[in-house]
């Protein structure tokens, strides 16, 4: 009997481990399928945008291992940052300096790509890992048929270089380029009319300005800020077919952590947000799981492996 009980416990552990390692992958066969998925006029599938890739203990921000880990929690959008090395390699790093996120020191732009490969990333708790700084091409290649990307760029990085990397890796089906004003959005659209663009759009006037500058609604994913806008803003954007990203990193994440019974993330989606850009992947994901279940929302683009 004792041996049987041990067998049952071992079997349960194996089953739990297998479940914990499930991957939630998003896959789009072409750009039309992606645009259909991101159509605000239809019932959208709510998502978490993992801010800086979803860092947590043992998993530093902005690295492929962390991105892969995020998919074990949720089907995700991976938001990450691109910087330039001294020899103009596109590398994934948020800060201008290496100090906070790695065992290196100094300006990232003062190191060549080869020198940066000797650096090791550390997690938010200061623990140095074995993980390296990846390149943009490595990230885009990894993400095919796994995640959506929102690609943020640091000052001095040309949009043309980002777009060239997207083209080279054939990542058009799962890439969204982040812009911060209408001029940037117009530049990206002129360079790559087929790509989706994350644009700051917190009002009707913002959308009209984007349209006036040649950016069509079916290429826009609206970032509505880091505090929930009036529901009328959501209604207007959805009427134009535009899905909305609300940034919860910061005050909204803190509010959710302080008030776990208030279903902060659930209610933000219910009020009109389609995507929550969060630092709290696990906590936000649980509430989105419940929302999808309650509203019976699914998507053929999700593959669980």
Q: Which listed residue (24, 51, 189, 238) is catalytic?
A: 51
Catalytic: 51?
A: yes
Catalytic: 189?
A: no
Q: Which listed residue (94, 170, 189, 238) is catalytic?
A: 94
Estimate to the nearest angstrom the gap between the alpha carbon of 150 and the chain centroid: 5
* Secondary structure string (H, E, C) spanning the chain: CHHHHHHHHHHHHHHHHHHHCCCEEECCCCHHHHHHHCECCCCCCCEEEEHHHCCECCECCCCHHHHHHHCCCCCEEEEEEEEECCCCCEEECCCCECCCCECCCCEHHHCCHHHHCCCCEECCCCCECCCCCCEHHHHHHHHCCCCEEEEEECCCCCHHHHHHHHHHCCCHHHEEEECCCHHHHHHHHHHCCCCEEEEECCCHHHHHHHHHCCCCHHHEEEECCCCCCCHHHHHHHHHCCEEEEEECCCHHHHHHHHCHHHCHHHHHHHCCCCEEEECCHHHHHHHHHHHHHHHCCCCCCEEEC
Quote the CA–CA distance of 63 and 68 in Å, as a whole number.
9
Q: Which residues are catalytic?
A: 51, 94
């Amino acid at each position: 009997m004792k041996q049987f009980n041990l067998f049952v416990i071992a079997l349960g552990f194996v089953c739990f481990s297998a479940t914990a390692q499930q991957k939630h992958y998003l896959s789009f066969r072409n750009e039309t399928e992606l645009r259909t998925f991101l159509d605000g006029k239809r019932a959208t599938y709510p998502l978490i945008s993992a801010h800086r890739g979803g860092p947590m203990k043992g998993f530093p921000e902005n690295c492929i291992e962390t991105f892969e880990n995020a998919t074990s929690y949720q089907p995700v959008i991976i938001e990450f940052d691109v910087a330039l090395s001294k020899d103009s390699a596109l590398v994934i790093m948020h800060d201008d300096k290496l100090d906070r996120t790695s065992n290196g020191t100094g300006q990232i732009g003062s190191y060549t790509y080869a020198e940066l490969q000797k650096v090791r990333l550390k997690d938010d708790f200061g623990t140095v890992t074995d993980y390296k700084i990846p390149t943009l091409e490595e990230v885009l290649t990894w993400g095919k048929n796994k995640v959506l990307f929102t690609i943020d760029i640091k000052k001095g990085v040309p949009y043309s270089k980002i777009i060239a990397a997207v083209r080279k890796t054939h990542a058009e089906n799962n890439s969204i380029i982040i812009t911060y004003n209408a001029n940037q959005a117009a530049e990206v659209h002129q360079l790559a009319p087929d790509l989706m663009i994350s644009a700051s759009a917190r009002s009707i006037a913002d959308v009209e300005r984007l349209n006036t500058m040649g950016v069509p609604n079916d290429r826009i994913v609206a970032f509505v800020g880091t505090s929930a806008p009036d529901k009328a803003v959501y209604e207007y954007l959805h009427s134009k077919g535009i899905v909305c990203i609300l940034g919860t990193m910061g005050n909204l994440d803190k509010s959710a952590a302080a008030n776990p019974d208030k279903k902060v993330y659930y209610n933000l989606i219910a009020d009109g947000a389609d995507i929550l850009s969060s630092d709290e992947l696990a906590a936000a994901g649980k509430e989105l799981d419940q929302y999808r279940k309650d509203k019976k929302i699914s998507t053929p683009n999700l593959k669980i492996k």
